Amino acid sequence: MQMQGQKLMAMIGTAVSGLTQPATILSALQDLGRRHVGYGVQDPHYDTVGAALLWTLETGLGPAFTPETRQAWAKTYDLVAGVMKDAAATPSR
């Protein structure tokens, strides 16, 4: 679980630093989404992980996790998860 958390946070860190240039991380996210099919991940699982992420941030950050911050994280996660799910549904080129 600890390793898993580290992987997720590393990838989210990449997503955050790539926020201003989404195109640079697009193909990496598509590959990641396709690999997740092989891990047995299905679309609804992304909502569970997204909710867990927001809960973790809220619990860890307390009052610093303002509504604005929550919205920014939710948007970022939805963007990343959306790209991964779309790629999972399409064969690689």
Chain residues binding ligand HEM by CB under 6 A are 7-8, 11, 32, 35-36, 39, 41, 45-46, 49, 77, 80-81, 84
Distance CA(81)–CA(63), nearest Å, equals 26
Contacts of 43 (CB under 8 A, 6+ apart): 85, 88
CB of 16 to ligand HEM, least distance (A): 11
Residue 81 or 87: which CB sits closer to ligand HEM?
Answer: 81
The torsion defined by the Cα of 59, 7, 77 and 80, in degrees rounded to 10, comes to 180
CB of 32 to ligand HEM, least distance (A): 6
Distance CA(91)–CA(30), nearest Å, equals 10
Residue 47 or 69: which CB sits closer to ligand HEM?
Answer: 47
CB of 63 to ligand HEM, least distance (A): 26
The counts of H helices and E strands in the chain are 4, 0
Residue 73 or 77: which CB sits closer to ligand HEM?
Answer: 77
